[in-house]
Amino acid sequence: MSEPATLSVALQDETATAQLMADLALLIGPGDTITLTGDLGAGKTAAARSLIRYLAGDDGLEVPSPTFTLVQGYELPAFPVMHADLYRVEDEGELEEIGLSPLPDATLVLIEWPERAPSAMPEDRIDIALTHRPELGSTARAADITGYGKSAATIARLKSLREFLDASGYLDAGRRRMAGDASTRSYARLFRDDGIVILMNSPQRPDGAAIYNGKSYSAAVHLAENIKPFVAIDEGLRAQGISAPKIHHVDLDHGFLISEDFGSEGVVEGNPPRPIPERYEAATDVLAMLHGRSLPETLPLDGQTYTIPAFDTEALLIEIGLMPEWYLPDRNAPLSEAKRAEFFAMWRELLKKPLAAPKTWIIRDYHSPNLIWLADRTGIERVGVIDFQDTVLGPRSYDVVSLLQDARIDVPEALELTLLSRYIKARRTEDASFDPAGFAELYAIMSAQRNTRLLGTFARLNRRDGKPHYLRHQPRIWTYLQRSLAHPALEPLRDWYLANVPPPQS
């Protein structure tokens, strides 16, 4: 077991306590356990309350002390939280009655008075010991934070984060949680008198075990495993006149970054959300402009060079392999070895055309959650782009598919075709040799590739990562997939899917 990691923090008042707990919240998740120790009145419940309110995004959330109820549960947007107080527990056997033995899965557990049941506490945990500091003021406390087992790395990272915030001048800023994405990154808005910025926490971490020829999934398909690609691509996009957020402070070694805040005005409206045509037109124009340029394959990064990876055949095949690996078993339709070989052989042949096409930067998740509308700017600069660290070199059709077949909202087929025509017209205006029919075929192929992958990705997010809300997107993905399979060039693939791939549950 790794050595414990410790961090001591002086807390002048409850605001400082809330800031510390917000920083910790950025680094923890479901399955973690935090114990809070200290005398009566030391501030254990206040600390737990600050953490719960931060995760809830509600400073006024009622968070009573669980002294009498023993356990209080919260279903929060990110994950469930259980807040327990063991002060009245006299025997460890009582923990089973209140749902703490064993500890619940996929839940963040906060435990006050853990010393009442020491042998029941997990080896991997964070302990926050709170003590009065009357010499600093009536509300002053000291927090001695210790990470045990696997949680030692979390406290070491908390120390680095606090040092980064201090060096950047944001240690005393207000914090507000931002919803994360499907990755291991997390975000917060930081508030000072001079404005609002965004803090990104991007830990060095592969996505999955090394099961793809000795590589993790993220390494095999060229997903960013640290913050460096984000920084390099950000500057590259800004150099092309695209509105990527300005980076104010960065710690490349630890993966922390403070950047411009574009706000939250998106390119969709209504409930359920639907595209705002004018904004989708501008987003389409961004791609047409970018794809008409000769772009570098390497970018400067902190005095060195960052090489944009190529979206090669193996990466594309591993992506679509998520469909038979995760989606088909969920639909009780696993493939035989012969059928699997047939599937990959068909795709290997089909991908030859897009991979032989001219390459550009593929931003990869160029769709509504990652596009911010900047109404005070003009032209293509009105489209703020915020998620691009996974950029690769590949066929121009890929990002057009990402936008016009948005995985998270319904794009009507009529609007998709209108925007596709707008893109083609813009490209032909700049390049008389641009081939609309050839592009339409590449669009259909990359649509089939992307939507096949997404069926598997959303199944994996549900089963492996405990994120069932992604399953609601599968019927939409299926609809997009049927559109692309209707292209004549994909007829053999369409017949194969018809025979072997059942639709998702609606």
- Mean pLDDT (whole number) for 395-415: 96
| Span 10-60, pLDDT tens digits | 999 999 999 999 999 999 999 999 999 999 888 999 999 999 999 999 999
Judge whether residue 183 has pLDDT over 80.
Answer: no
> What are 87-141's pLDDT values in tens digits?
988 888 888 888 888 889 889 999 999 999 999 999 999 999 999 887 777 778 9
Closest of 357, 317, 361 to residue 341, by C-alpha: 317
Q: Is residue 227 classed as helix, strand or coil in its secondary structure?
A: coil
What is the pTM for the complete model shown? 0.92
Q: Is the pLDDT score of 471 beyond 70?
A: yes
Q: pLDDT value at position 182? A: 55
Q: Is residue 8 within 8 Å of 144, Cβ to Cβ?
A: yes
Sign of CA dihedral 234, 240, 243, 246: positive
> What gap in Å lies between CA 18 and CA 32, rounded to an integer?
19
pLDDT in tens, 143-157: 999 999 999 999 999
Q: What integer pLDDT is reported at residue 368 of this predicted model?
A: 95
Instruction: Fill in the amino acid letter for 268.
Output: V
Predicted local distance difference test score (pLDDT) of residue 443:
98
The predicted structure's pLDDT at residue 105: 86
Q: Residue 237: what pLDDT?
A: 98
Q: How many CB atoms lie within 10 A of CB 171?
A: 17
Q: Identify the band that residue 501 occupies on the pLDDT scale cut at 50, 70 and 90.
A: very high
Burial (CB count <10 Å: 0-12, 13-18, 19+), residue 203 = middle
Judged against a pLDDT cut of 90, whether residue 466 lies above it is answered with no
Beta-carbon contacts of residue 106 (< 8 Å; ≥ 6 apart): 30, 31, 79, 80, 466
Task: Dig out the tokens for 2 from the structure.
Answer: 């790794």
| Residue 69 scores a pLDDT above 90 | no
- Tell me if 406 sits within 8 A of 368, measured CB to CB: yes
Percentage of residues in the chain having pLDDT higher than 90:
85
Determine the pLDDT at residue 1: 60
Between the CA of residue 22 and those of 31, 160, 169, 171, 205, what are the distances in Å?
Answer: 18, 15, 17, 11, 22
What does the pLDDT look like over 293-327, one tens digit per residue?
999 999 999 999 999 999 999 999 999 999 999 99
Amino acid at residue number 390 = D
- What is the model's pLDDT at position 469? 86
Give residue limits of the domains in the chain.
5-168, 263-500
Q: What is the CATH number of domain 263-500?
A: 3.90.1200.10
Q: Do domains 5-168 and 263-500 have the same CATH topology?
A: no
How high is the pLDDT of residue 181? 65
- In this prediction, residue 67 has a pLDDT band, given cuts at 50, 70 and 90, of confident
- The fold of the 5-168 domain, in CATH, is Rossmann fold (3.40.50)
